[in-house]
Structure 1
Amino acid sequence: MADGMTAGIALPMDGLPPEQRRWATFAIFTAMAMASLDTAIANIALPAIAADLHTTPADVIWVVNVYQIALVATLLPFAALGEIVGHQRIYLGGLVLFTLASVACALAWSLDSLLVARALQGLGASGIMSVNTALVGHVYPKRMLGRGFGHNALVVAISFTLGPTIASGILSVATWPWLFAVNLPFGLIAIVVGMKTLPQTARASHAFDFPGALLAAACMSLLILGISSAAHHAAAPLVIAELIGGLLIGWLLLRRQTGHPAPVLPIDLFRRPMFALSAATAIFTFAVQGLAFVSLPFYFEDILHRSQVETGFLLTPWPLVVAIMAPIAGRLSDRYPAGILGGLGLALLCLGMMLLALLPSEPSVANIVWRMVICGAGFGFFQAPNMKAFMASAPAGRSGGASGMVATARLIGQTTGAALAAFCFGLVGHEGATLALALGAGFAAIGCLLSFSRLAIRAAPVA
């Protein structure tokens, strides 16, 4: 590591020097990979955890749910806090908490102790994800921002692809606590490197709105709980109460934060057409991903009668092609508008989802794979340009709020898509997979139109 990489280096005018940038991105992407891998790893481990801790499948699902709720509820508050105390502090604090909580997960002796550790791990992941995009924007020079966001999307795609394989490999030679314990060495390395290389970012002068943060956390928690409860066919009164409660608290939050210079829920940024359209495009697109990745395993196994191993293989082309396309789209986004690149990508994604919905009754492996490749290419072509449009449409002092909204839009879209897939299955049984894929094609078409509509925005955002 270069001698000049010491803690407390002030942020350069346009990104970091090349050597420091390489080490800083190593720290950023290592932490992001850990947080992204952890959801997939926990999903694979649920049967083993249930057997070892002598609990039921209905109870053990909370190992995933409590992590997701803690993550989604605190993304926007942490992003807002990052603008005040510095993005690098939130990132490193989240990384430290995530690493320590991973050790606590590995040492858990009961379901209750594991749930507490997972909630803390979700808080740590929120600290990482809430300011991830903002830090990438500070580390790379402006001429390379698209490339940086492409690399970020590449890391997430690879983590998503390898998560189940890594989890299965670890479980084949060790017990489930090791799935969490392996985070310790990687976390420690990323912490040390990050402390030495992450840039200090500008700090806002306004105070942190604690009541607003609590309202935002309660609003997001109830909305995600309501969507998840609907997906798991919970009692209708419970679902309605959770959704209405979330909307009511959201209304109170909007009333409280009107006129605030930097609201926790970034309503000021949504007044900017490019930001609002990029957020809407992201929600629709990640809903497509949620619809696809919930419905396709059931389609392959229950309708096409493929084994679990074959199903894993058939799902792999999508994230694998995303990993290939993300850096390419990132480089192109430094030269071409996000509206064009995102629109073309979502047109491809729409085509791929339609082709999957129209699969013949007994398709060959090749017939499935080339359709998945089209979906992956379209999704990968969308991510980095949309992320760049998100961040470029926000003023420098609101990069934290924009970064938090990037992650929030992604998780809202994925959760909504998963819930809609469950609704499709409840509506028409096994044929729900085809309905979910067709619905995903419709969502991709709406996202495509939203993306192209950004081309009409020429002027700078509203001051």
Structure 2
Amino acid sequence: MSTNTPAAPKPEIRPWPALWSLVLGFFMILVDTTIVSVANPSIMEGLGTTMVATLWATSAYLLAYAVPLLITGRLGDRFGPRRIYLIGLTVFTLSSLACGLSGTIEALIIARVFQGLGAALMTPQTMAVITRIFPPRNRGSAMAVWGVTAGVATLVGPILGGVLLDGFGWEWIFFINVPVGVVGFILALRFVPKLETHAHRFDWIGVLLSAAGMFMVVFGIQEGESYDWGQIWGPISVWSLIIVGALVLVLFVFWQRVQRGEPLLPLEVFRDRNFSVGTGTITTVGLAVTSMGLPLMFYFQLVRGMTPTQSALMLVPMALLSAGLARPVGLLIDRTDPRRIATFGLTLVAVGMLLYYFLLTPDMPLWVLLVPSAVLGVANACMWGPLASITTFSLPPHLAGAGSGVYNTSRQVGAVLGSAAIAALMQARITAELGGAAGGAGAGEAGMSGQLPEVAREGFSTAMGQSLLLPVAAIVVGAIISLWFGRRPAKTNTNPIEVPVEA
């Protein structure tokens, strides 16, 4: 009689529970990039500080989030995306608690830095896990959920922020992350598999060059307006910092090419045509989506006299349609060629923004202003998912983390560019339409929740509409770049669904 014990079955990956577990954390960190902007006046009053110091709470988070993304993507390849994600989620959750408990602006800024680092550890792992656990031909629906999460989160932030501020106080925009983070940790621990790691020798010179270059470029662009694009300290100016940072990044790329060890950024990812095209396109998307919100919020609040919460509610059609169409568009991605869906979505974003350009007048009925929001909702569903899906379709598993880091870094750099550029353009157009004194006085008197004098509303509306031409131009460039997408391979063996190394 045989006594052989049958081999234990290999643990089964459940892709969709894993995806939803990751999306919860991804949604939380992206909401945090916008939720604080609504709370700045309350934070300033509560901590007894200045507006400049308060704005550093946001700047510190964005810098700590954007700068390490190239590195943290590679960490997922080396130590496993699940492990790095859970570490990042723990750091993010604990630092959120520290933010809410902060008694000084200095303590808040430090806590926000750690929050940004936690977010940077988490973000690349979400996309890398999708790339590795979903078969390529079934990945469209997953990428659609991931992409729409990125789009909807930027809209939910101001709404959630307004509700928490009105009901509980500014501390709760951070405290709310704690229970969400705990639930997200438990779900990720339960459903996200431990995937095979790839042995890497870490490129410490590449780490230093990429971190230094990214910091100088992102800091210069992000803080240029606050320094009036002049001197920062001594002989160092904003532009010299940006130029030196760009040169350091060029040196980083050169080092990645010539070094004999293992590069931090494998340049082979750019041999994939669709990855290169998608990375360029997502930069324009980050710029456009970030720069669109500010003129609209100023128009709704200063011209129409809405509260921050009411203003954010004007974008609800966008959020609902984006989320509702994510699944159908995802199925369409899997069954058809997604490159034209992405181009259509990008073009439709430009159409929605142009509608705002024509409709932003002081007496436009509010229901009419819901129409471009709805158009943008359809556009988002057709843009984010197809773009992510076709960009990462052919990446091999050992490059999934590096590719995700590059893709997310490009999006964040675009967002920083958009934030800086739209602030400068808005100021220029307000000055042109109202005159420097009139524009400054009107905005100063109204603050962020009052209403401009009637005589200034027409000119201010025109200025905000003209400012929207910046994101329109950016997204049109993205649509043009997307025309270079190639057709997905009919078959691929580069991304088989992986079996976890442990249950």
Calculate the TM-score normalised by the size of structure 1. 0.89
Matches within 5 A, 1:46-125: 46-125=40-119
Task: Find the aligned partners of 1:291 and 1:262 in 2 and give their Cα distance.
Answer: 37
Give the match for residue 276 of structure 2. Answer: 276
- The equivalent of 2:211 in structure 1 is 217
1:392 aligns with: 393
1:313 Cα shift? 2.7
Decide whether the 8 Å contact of 2:202 with 2:262 is kept in 1. Answer: no
Q: Does 1:195 align with 2:195?
A: no
Matches within 5 A, 1:297-308: 297-303=297-303, 308=308
Deviates more, 1:99-108 or 1:419-428: 419-428
Per the alignment, residue 234 of structure 2 pairs with none
Which is further off, 410-419 or 51-60?
A: 410-419
Secondary structure in 2 matching 1:55: coil
Is the CA contact 2:390–2:488 (under 8 Å) kept in the aligned structure 1?
no
Structure 1 stretch displaced more, 451-460 or 227-236 = 451-460
Q: Count residues in correspondence.
A: 448
Give the stretch that moved more between structures: 355-364 or 207-216.
355-364
User: Which one has the largest radius of gyration?
Assistant: 2
Corresponding residue for 1:156? 150
Q: 1:446 to 1:156 in 2, by over 3 A?
A: closer
Q: What is the one-letter code of the residue matched to 2:80? A: G
Q: 5 Å matches for 1:235-314?
A: 235-237=229-231, 238-259=237-258, 263-303=263-303, 308-314=308-314
Q: Which runs of 4+ in 1 moved over 6 A?
A: 9-12, 456-461
Distance 2:10 2:132 in 1: 11
**Deviation per residue, 1:274-332 (Å, 9 max, x gap):** 11101111111222212211222223344556554543232333333222233332221
Deviations 1:345-398 (A, max 9, x none): 112112222222222633222322112221232122110011111211322210
**Matching residue's letter, 1:373:** A
Identify if the C-alpha distance between structure 1 residues 270 and 231 changes in structure 2 by more than 3 Å, giving closer, same or farther: farther
For 1:3, the equivalent position in structure 2 comes to none
Q: Cα deviations across residues 180-212 of structure 1 (Å, max 9, x unaligned)? A: 222222222222332233212232222111221
Is the 1:231–1:418 contact (alpha carbons within 8 Å) kept by the matching residues of 2? no
Q: Distance in 1 between matches of 2:97 and 2:385?
A: 33
Is 1:171 the counterpart of 2:171? The answer is: no
C-alpha distance in structure 2 between counterparts of 1:456 and 1:380, whole Å? 20
The alpha carbon displacement at 1:90 in A equals: 0.9
Of 412-421 and 264-273, the range deviating more from structure 2:
264-273
Work out whether residues 157 and 320 of structure 1, in 8 Å CA contact, stay in contact via their aligned partners in 2.
no
Distance (whole Å) between structure 1 residues aligned to residue 211 and residue 343 of structure 2: 32
> Per-residue displacement from partner, 1:241-264 (whole Å, max 9, x unpaired)?
221121121122112111457633
| 1:204 match | 198
Q: Which residue identity lines up with residue 162 of structure 1 in the other structure?
A: V
Which residue identity lines up with residue 395 of structure 1 in the other structure? P
Deviation at 1:438, TM superposition (A): 2.0
Q: Percent identity?
A: 26
Residue of structure 1 equivalent to 2:418: 417
Counterpart of 1:126 in structure 2 is: 120
Mapped partners of 1:203, 1:215: distance in 2 = 25
Structure 1: unaligned runs, 5 residues or longer: 1-8
Is contact 2:273-2:486 (8 Å) kept? no
Alignment partners' CA distance in 2, 1:90 and 1:435: 43
Superposed CA deviations along residues 415-456 of structure 1, whole A, max 9, x for unmatched, are: 212222122123322444223322322222221122122147
Report the AA paired with residue 422 of structure 1.
A
* RMSD, aligned α-carbons: 2.5
User: In structure 2, what is the Cα distance between the partners aligned to 1:459 and 1:275?
Assistant: 17
> Which residue identity lines up with residue 348 of structure 1 in the other structure?
L
Matched, 1:454 2:454: no
Work out whether residues 41 and 179 of structure 1, in 8 Å CA contact, stay in contact via their aligned partners in 2: yes
CA contact (8 A) 2:23 2:146 kept: yes
Confirm or deny that 1:45 pairs with 2:33: no
Query: Match of 1:328?
Result: 328
Q: Deviations over 1:110-129 (max 9, x none)?
A: 11111111111110011111
From the superposition, tell whether residues 458 and 331 of structure 1 become closer, same or farther in structure 2 (CA, over 3 Å): closer
Counterpart code for 1:424: L
Where structure 2 has 5 or more consecutive residues not aligned to the other structure, the ranges are: 1-8, 232-236, 431-459, 495-503
Return the letter of the residue paired with 1:328: P
Does residue 1:383 correspond to 2:377, yes or no? no
**CA distance in 2 between partners of 1:368 and 1:151 (Å):** 27
CA–CA distance in structure 2, aligned partners of residues 423 and 458 of structure 1: 43
Q: Cα gap change, 1:193/1:350 in structure 2, threshold over 3 Å: closer, same or farther?
A: closer
Aligned to 2:356: 356
Please tell me whether residue 439 in structure 1 is matched to residue 470 in structure 2.
yes
Answering whether residue 183 of structure 2 is matched by residue 184 of structure 1, we say no
Alpha-carbon distance in 2 for matches of 1:134, 1:99: 21
Distance 1:313 1:190 in 2: 27
1:137 is displaced (CA, Å) by 2.4
CA distance in 2 between counterparts of 1:273 and 1:169 reads 44
Range that drifts further, 342-351 or 354-363: 354-363
1:6 matched residue in structure 2:
none
Residue in 1 that maps onto 2:140: 146
